[in-house]
Structure 1
Amino acid sequence: MLKKLLVSCLLIIVALSATAQRERIENLPNFDKRFIHYGFYLGLNTNGFKVSYKPSAFPDARVDVVSDVGFNVGLIGDMKLHNNVNLRFEPGLVSNTKTLRFTHIANENEGTREVGNTYLHLPIIFKFSTNRLNNIRPYVLGGASFDFNFSSNEKNQDDNFSGQFRQNASVFMYEVGIGVDFYLPYFKFSPSIRGIFAINNEIKFDNRSPSQWTDPIDFFGTRGIFLHLSFE
């Protein structure tokens, strides 16, 4: 579903770019002269997990991840550092649901876990823009974030032996993306496509070993794609 939305977004960007190129009137001519400005964003995401494995008592261990489309929403604070460089703080919420299938576990009830995550997403992002061309301005961005997982189950004493999959609540991630600023008559609209990648291990190992759920896992970290729509 998100792939179809990404394709639709790209088509919209192409159409807006063509319109902006034909447009002779320069909208918001003084917008980029501001030292600080604010906005908000809405978007969709599909987040999975990168899983790597280590030797264990469970041969051929594998975790398949199926991700539903989630949403992201938040605020924007933007500081101009240079004509082509901005520093942004974009606090928000990111929510999604994943289904984990431990394929080496024969019992379907024991081998399936539904993981619903809601993150407080606190990224610091550098935005590198080209010079403005009429009413469009492409850019790339990159940065890092601290994320707090409200639904991690980190402090839950029950583990997978009791049907509870647990993660560490605190996650550090890095983020990269590309997008285009469109200067409209009353505001700036900025669609972008971004990737997020966890740096630290999110798995919280079960209380006892051997555990068929967590013993085979060496690294378990979020990997995701955002469709990000900013209004400034």
Structure 2
Amino acid sequence: MKRLIVVLTILTLSFQSTKAQLFTKEKIKNLENFDQKRWSWGYFLGFNNYDFKFNYKEHPTEDLIVKKNVGFNVGLIGNLRINDYMDLRLEPGVLFVNREITFPEIPEDNLREVKSTYVHIPLLMKFSTKRLNNFKPFVVGGVSTSINLSSNEKNPDDNSAGEFRMNSKTYYYEIGFGVDLYMFFFKFTPSIRGVFAINDELKRDIDPNSPYTGNIDQMSSRGVFINFTFQ
């Protein structure tokens, strides 16, 4: 009986010690002074999923249908530390986006493939929590602009010749969240961000009564980014 009591006592103490190490003991911090740098640099890779939001002059019998496809993001990061909880970030990149618009009220030739290559330049404010061992959650928000290199804005042909046209410059607001993970040699950051255009991107057809563009009051992009950052 005494031996059993001793064994149970040892097991209880061992469990309490293990529990303390797993849940209360502070781990060794990787890159402990990384966030103390005034400036830091990096790059990101990721994916996007873009949609269009349409406002109509008169609501149609059937809404336009947008098929969304997964695109690719790549770019650079410049980070300016303001204090322990705030950073100002510039993230210029290139986005490859592919969407398809179906005009259901047009009986023939009613599909337009919209391929866009955006040079995207966001200026963001990052708000972080206190670092917890080797991770630090954050939220981010800001404004951005982009130049659509595939806009067809200056193309004299319009939808009557099968060419869907967009304005080349777009302005957005952005909001998202993520977590900084401090690895042994670098900081890895997965994040999710929503982007919402605030201006009209549609380049209208020459004919003001065009069945493609005549009833559209505003067409604006909106999308989701999933980015993986390395610093």
> Could you say whether these structures have the same fold, taking a TM-score greater than 0.5 normalized by the shorter chain as the test?
yes
Which residue number corresponds to residue 122 of structure 1?
Answer: 121
8 A Cα contact 1:78 1:86, kept in partner? yes
Query: What's the Cα RMSD here?
Result: 1.7
Distance 1:88 1:162 in 2: 43
Query: Any conservation in 2 of the 1:23–1:135 contact (CA below 8 Å)?
Result: no
Q: Quote how far apart the aligned CAs of 1:62 are.
A: 2.2
Query: For 1:219 and 1:22, how far apart are their aligned partners in 2?
Result: 56
Q: Which amino acid aligns with 1:198?
A: A
Tell me the equivalent position of 1:79: 80
Paired residue secondary structure (2:82): strand
**Matched residue, 1:26:** 29
Partners of 2:56 and 2:156 in 1: CA distance: 24
Q: Report how far residue 219 of structure 1 moved.
A: 1.2
Paired letter, 1:91: P
Aligned counterpart in structure 2 of residue 48 of structure 1, from 33, 46, 51: 51
Report the CA distance between 1:146 and its aligned residue: 1.0
Please tell me the residue identity of whatever aligns with 1:222: S
AA of the residue aligned to 1:125: L
Deviation at 1:210, TM superposition (A): 1.1
Q: 1:61 offset after TM fit, Å?
A: 4.9
> Matched residues in 2 for 1:202 and 1:62: separation?
18
Judge which range, 111-120 or 59-68, deviates more. Answer: 59-68
Report the CA distance shift for 1:23/1:83 in structure 2 as closer, same or farther (over 3 A): closer
Q: Which runs of 5+ in 1 are unaligned?
A: 1-18
Query: For residues 76-225 of structure 1, what are the structure 2 equivalents within 5 Å?
Result: 76-107=77-108, 110-225=109-224
d(CA) in 2 for partners of 1:100, 1:124: 30
User: What is the CA deviation profile of residues 175-198 of structure 1, one whole-angstrom value per residue up to 9, with x for unaligned ones?
Assistant: 110000000000000000010000
Deviation of the 1:52 alpha carbon? 1.4
Secondary structure of the 2:217 match is strand
Structure 2 residue aligned with 1:70: 71
Distance 1:166 1:136 in 2: 44
| Cα contact 1:61–1:216 (8 A) shared by 2 | no
1:11 maps to which residue? Answer: none
Secondary structure of the corresponding residue to residue 38 of structure 1: strand
Cα displacement (A) at 1:83: 1.2
**TM-score, scaled to structure 1:** 0.87
1:197 corresponds to which letter in structure 2? F
Alpha-carbon shift at residue 22 of structure 1 (Å): 8.3
**CA distance, structure 2, for counterparts of residue 43 and residue 198 of structure 1:** 20
TM-score (norm 2): 0.88
CA offsets, 1:109-152, max 9 Å, x none? x2100000000001100000001000010000001111000000
